[in-house]
Amino acid sequence: MDRVVQRAKRISLVDGEALFQQGDTATRFYLVVEGHMKLFRLAPDGNEKVIELVDTGHTFAEALMFLEQPRYPVGAVALGDTELISVDAADFSAILRDSVDLCLALLGDMSFRLRSLIREIDDLSLHSATCRVAAFILARAPADCDDFDLEIPKHVIASRISVKPETFSRIIKSLKSKNVLEIKGSKVHLLDREALEDAADVCGLPVEAT
């Protein structure tokens, strides 16, 4: 374990700086100490889809260690100035060999991610854009407080939930007109949490459905 820590690196990125590109060979994984990372896929036409927003305290790319020929399936850039710790996959792998518990913990972590991704697919194919917007905002809202900050540019959020910035803006406008919430800059103020929850899971369902 000492060895891992010793060989771990501290990395500082400025806003917008890339950590790796989609397709790069993966030999390390990362922990976000400060800031946010954006993981995204690029389409051949240059379109980009944000797969995951990694917040402070979370790791990413650790699931790749176990593939035969590990290449990052996504690109990674910093959102805002960001601090990372980078760990060598081989070092870490060696540790895993000595600790079944750590293995199991990792398996748990990956299970969780797997399930999140299934939810995501569900969301994309079974729910409308409005629904996804509502769910996203809800997920970011603290349980106890109706005012908070989306710490992330709106166009990035839009890509995260697979809508165009224009559409995102219009959906927000519509929610505003229904007195569900207000957004001023990046400050969100929830007016009717329940209505937002409805929008999130009722989706496009006709309200009169029994």
Please choose, from the candidates 77, 40, 78, 35, the residue with its C-alpha nearest in 3D space to the C-alpha of residue 56: 35
**HSE toward the beta carbon, residue 97, CA cutoff 13 A:** 7
| Count of residues interacting with DNA (CB under 7 A) | 22
Residue at token pair 């970011």: 140
Question: Would you count residue 13 as binding DNA (CB under 7 A)?
Answer: no
CB-neighbour burial class of residue 37 (10 A; exposed 0-12, middle 13-18, buried 19+): buried
Sketch the per residue contact string, 160 through 179, with its own copies: x for CB under 8 A, - otherwise.
--x-----------------
Question: Would you count residue 56 as binding DNA (CB under 7 A)?
Answer: no
7/170 with CB nearer DNA: 170
Long-range CB pairs of 104-107 (<8 Å, 24+ gap) are 106/62
188/199 with CB nearer its own copies: 199
The least distance separating DNA from the CB of residue 127, rounded to whole angstroms, comes to: 8
Among 127, 134, 158, 190, binds its own copies (CB under 8 A): 127
Question: Would you count residue 165 as binding DNA (CB under 7 A)?
Answer: yes
CB-neighbour burial class of residue 175 (10 A; exposed 0-12, middle 13-18, buried 19+): buried
181, 133 contact by CB (below 8 A) = no
Question: Would you count residue 154 as binding DNA (CB under 7 A)?
Answer: yes
Specify the stretch interacting with its own copies by CB under 8 A; choose among 40-48, 80-88, 150-158, 182-190. 40-48
Among 19, 74, 163, 190, binds DNA (CB under 7 A): 163
Instruction: Please provide the DSSP assignment of 57-75 as one string.
Output: T-EESGGGGGSSS-B-SSE
Contact residues for its own copies, defined by CB under 8 A: 41, 43-45, 47, 49, 51, 63-67, 73-74, 96-98, 100, 103-104, 106-108, 110-115, 117-122, 124-127, 162, 201-205, 209
